[in-house]
Structure 1
Amino acid sequence: MDDKQARLRELRDQARMYYRATLKGLWSLDFTITEHLAWIEQEMAMVEAKG
């Protein structure tokens, strides 16, 4: 697996962890988490754009 795929997987796993914690009620989906998820999406887009 190349670096691009590894990085995308890492970012997806991180986002999944945040969503799960939110669904379980461990965290509320507050500004910080929303902001972090937006950052993850931005990072994924940048990684994919590098091709």
Structure 2
Amino acid sequence: MCTVGGGPDIQQIEELATKDYECLDCNNKFKAMGRRPMCPSCKSRNVKPA
């Protein structure tokens, strides 16, 4: 794909696609995307939107 003036700003796209979550098992706060996010610290799926 050819673009004029540079490609899309990846940082901006990542910020729009991710949401803040908190792990209910280890209390880790993180950003993730998808329907069933997983805590990067303890690998639990027991998370809630922060």
TM-score (norm 1): 0.24
Name the structure, 1 or 2, with higher relative contact order (CA <8 Å, separation 6+).
Answer: 1
- 1 or 2, which has the higher strand percentage? 2
Structure with higher Rg: it is: 2
